[in-house]
Structures are given as C-alpha cells and as structure tokens.
Amino acid sequence: MLGESLPLAARHAGRLAVLHQGRIVEAGPTAALLSRPSHPATAALVATAGAARHLAVVPITAAAID
C-alpha cells in the first residue's frame, strides 16, 4: 500500500507532511521533501516506497486537469 500511495501523493500534491507517532515531523514542497528528506521517518518512507529511484514529481496545473 505504501509503495503505491507515496508516488500517488507526489503526483497530485504540491506539499506533503510526514507524521511520526501522531506528530508532523516534516512538511514542505513535495519535490524538496522527497528528494532531500531531513527527518529519519521521511527518509524511511522514501526508501520503503522506492521513491528515490522511481518517483517522478509532476506538477499539476489547471490546464492539465481540463
């Protein structure tokens, strides 16, 4: 499930927040958060999802949705 949800969130969200034990431990622009995680929980999520190798962050614009 995680392997599918992180790339999905990355494609559709401009910003992400990572929770660890019920608290936000890191938040920011999606591309920056996933390419340079500063909290161990974020790094673990990225590694678990294989996002470091397979994740492409694609900006979504209103024109792309129409």
The predicted pLDDT at position 26 comes to 92
What secondary structure letter does DSSP report for 21? Answer: T
The predicted pLDDT at position 55 comes to 52
Q: Tell me: the pLDDT tens digits for 5-44?
A: 777 777 788 888 888 888 899 999 988 888 899 999 888 8
Confidence of residue 4 (pLDDT cuts 50, 70, 90): low
Confidence of residue 50 (pLDDT cuts 50, 70, 90): low
Instruction: Give residue 57's identity as a one-letter amino acid code.
Output: V
Mean pLDDT confidence for 45-50: 78
Q: What is the pTM assigned to this prediction?
A: 0.65
Reported as type and span, the H/E element at residue 35 is: helix 30-35
Whether 51 and 6 have beta carbons less than 8 Å apart is answered as yes
Domain residue extents for the chain: 2-54
Angle (CA) 37-2-54 rounded to 5° is 60
Where would I find the beta strands (DSSP E) of the chain? Answer: 15-20, 23-29
